[in-house]
Amino acid sequence: MNNNEDIKSSSNTNLNSNENNAFTIDIEKIENKEAKVALAKKVLDKVKDGQTIGFGSGTTSYITAIEIGEKVQKEHLNIIAVPTSNEIKSVCEKYGIKIGNLIENELDWAFDGADEVELKEKWLIKGKGKAMFKEKLNIIASPKTYILVDNTKIVDYLGQKCKVPIEVFPQALKYVSSELEKLGAKDITYRGFTENNNGILDVRFEKIEKSLEKQVKSITGVIESGLFLEYKNIEILSV
């Protein structure tokens, strides 16, 4: 199970109608739960019958998926979800939401959370839940993505609180680490595997400039980074 942002414990869940379902989160143990519920409600009015929606990952997206699922059931809506993690897919399936993909379906809009947000440039760090590759695919495929964040995620500059997660092909971990050091990376740590069976490195950069995302991505062996810079189709919604 992913260690998504702000999860204290994931041993139980009030969503789990199937005891064998491993992809659940106990929402009662999510930090800032009330703020995240308020954020989820900000996008509920955007959910319309017949839409295809990109679902992000993390605890804010998890709560939002529940809120959307309840609306779908109450209003008998037919929507398609393109989820970015098994946890979110599990919620969608519980509420009877059809699962789509980016090959056969075109997104009307998407939502997601973030680990850090710099508001002036609308730059993000994502990936604490190890799903940033699919999250980035949704963002670039969507005409509009709503980034839902409480005030604990807003920073003066990227890297103020969080390291940058980088998804790496496992056999390239050593090489990628050495190349990241050439880009000024410090305090590189290994954090396990993604759902794609790739490794995750958490990296601290003393300064993040707009060219850094492309520089990191250009390293052979890097699948994706948690840097989300210069994306003009995102809108930050905060409480």
From 5, 118, 135, 179, active-site residue: 135
Residue type, 131: A
In a 3-state reduction of DSSP, which class is residue 167?
A: strand
- 3-state DSSP of 190-219: EEEECCCCCEEEEEEECCCCCCHHHHHHCC
Residue with tokens 């409600």: 41
Cα separation of the two ends of the chain: 28
Q: Would you call 209 a catalytic residue per the annotation?
A: no
Among candidate residues 97, 85, 86, the one with its CA nearest the CA of residue 138: 85
Among candidate residues 210, 207, 202, 206, the one with its CA nearest the CA of residue 226: 202
Q: Which residues are catalytic?
A: 135
